Chain A
């Protein structure tokens, strides 16, 4: 039953990785990197449910299973690392927009200052 539900999941989260390369040509393709956690979980559960009868296949299955569990852990860890490397997410969106606004104001003020002093008639 669970596997059926998991089968219906075809949602694959999109992940933005700006981590390794910064060239603009790669940034577009990096946006489509997929983080597939759910399929791995689905595979683990399915292989547990298979429950073969003979011993040899059972051994093989359990080995596969443990490998998949390790795979799951690796996926989760890499997801965390990638998230940490994403740019611009130190603040919530509202905070970031506030900062953007204050930066704009700062720039405008400074430009005004320079303009004022450059145009003074001595």
Chain B
């Protein structure tokens, strides 16, 4: 029987079993009555077999000792492999993170590039933007003025009158069948402006936002123009409720545009 494919453990156990059987046979033969005893030759052979089995056991134990040494080496190697595995996992995690960060950065970069290209197609000077911002917020419809006190009749939101004079209010009227009355509207606008210019903070009428009128046209140069009269052409309009001192403010603001929020804060 070939024992080459058996593990060393199995071989050792088989040898021990064999020794047990042979020794049992020997002892039984020794105590057996004379007529049942086997020949002395057989007995001798059994003894020799026992001795050879014992030698085999010794040799196989030697082999087991060598294998134990190899097993130690293998354990050391397994430890190293485990370390490498952990390192690989760590590296993989970090690469994955890096990939994610890079992908996000590229995506955002592309978005920025498209918005830059879009903006570059229709450039607007920052001075224009600041002037426009100033105009729409000059009527205090955006936020209350710094000098606002309790009892001040100005309101930090677009009021009723302003809304009615605005685009939504005018389109409503058109739908309902009322015709446009540019002249009367102009007059009412002028009256209001004069009243405001005269009355100051005590007036009950607030300023009309310049961008809300139908008669107003947005000229290419960036100035807001209002059609005045019948054929007088358009006049550039400044929405100011205060005196000319504020004009300096406007101009100061536009020259200081570099320090304001004209830079893209995305």
Beta-carbon contact of A13 and B73 below 8 Å:
no
Q: How far is the CB of B209 from chain A (nearest CB, A)?
A: 55
The CA-CA distance from A106 to B95 in the complex, in Å, is: 22
The CA-CA distance from A80 to B80 in the complex, in Å, is: 33
Beta-carbon contact of A114 and B68 below 8 Å:
no
Beta-carbon contact of A13 and B95 below 8 Å:
no
Chain B residues with CB under 8 A of A45: 26-27, 30
Q: Is B190 an interface residue (CB 8 A)?
A: no
**Interface Cβ pair total, 8 Å cutoff:** 140
Contacting B at CB under 8 A, from A59-81, are: 69, 72, 76, 79-80
Interface residues on A, range: 35 or more
Q: Is A84 an interface residue (CB 8 A)?
A: yes
Beta-carbon contact of B91 and A103 below 8 Å:
no
The CA-CA distance from A89 to B16 in the complex, in Å, is: 16
Beta-carbon contact of B65 and A44 below 8 Å:
no
Chain A residues with CB under 8 A of B77: 100, 103-104, 107
State whether A103 and B54 are in contact (beta carbons under 8 Å apart), knowing that A88-B70, A92-B7, A93-B8 are contacts in the complex: no
Q: Is A1 an interface residue (CB 8 A)?
A: yes
State whether A18 and B68 are in contact (beta carbons under 8 Å apart), knowing that A45-B30, A48-B30 are contacts in the complex: yes
Contacting B at CB under 8 A, from A86-122, are: 86-97, 99-100, 103-104, 106-107, 110-111, 113-114, 117-118
Beta-carbon contact of B63 and A114 below 8 Å:
no
State whether A49 and B70 are in contact (beta carbons under 8 Å apart), knowing that A2-B43, A9-B51 are contacts in the complex: no
Beta-carbon contact of B9 and A83 below 8 Å:
yes
Beta-carbon contact of B44 and A1 below 8 Å:
yes
Beta-carbon contact of B78 and A49 below 8 Å:
no
Beta-carbon contact of A114 and B30 below 8 Å:
no
Interface residues of B (CB under 8 A from A): 4-9, 12-13, 16, 19-20, 23, 26-27, 30-31, 40, 43-44, 47-48, 50-51, 54-55, 57-58, 61-74, 77-78, 80-81, 84-85, 87-88, 91, 95
Interface residues of A (CB under 8 A from B): 1-2, 5-6, 9, 11-16, 18, 31, 35, 37-38, 41, 44-45, 48-49, 69, 72, 76, 79-80, 83-84, 86-97, 99-100, 103-104, 106-107, 110-111, 113-114, 117-118
What are 15 inter-chain pairs, A to B, with CB distance below 8 A? Answer: A2-B30, A2-B43, A9-B54, A11-B51, A11-B58, A18-B68, A35-B57, A38-B54, A41-B27, A41-B50, A76-B20, A83-B16, A86-B9, A92-B7, A117-B91
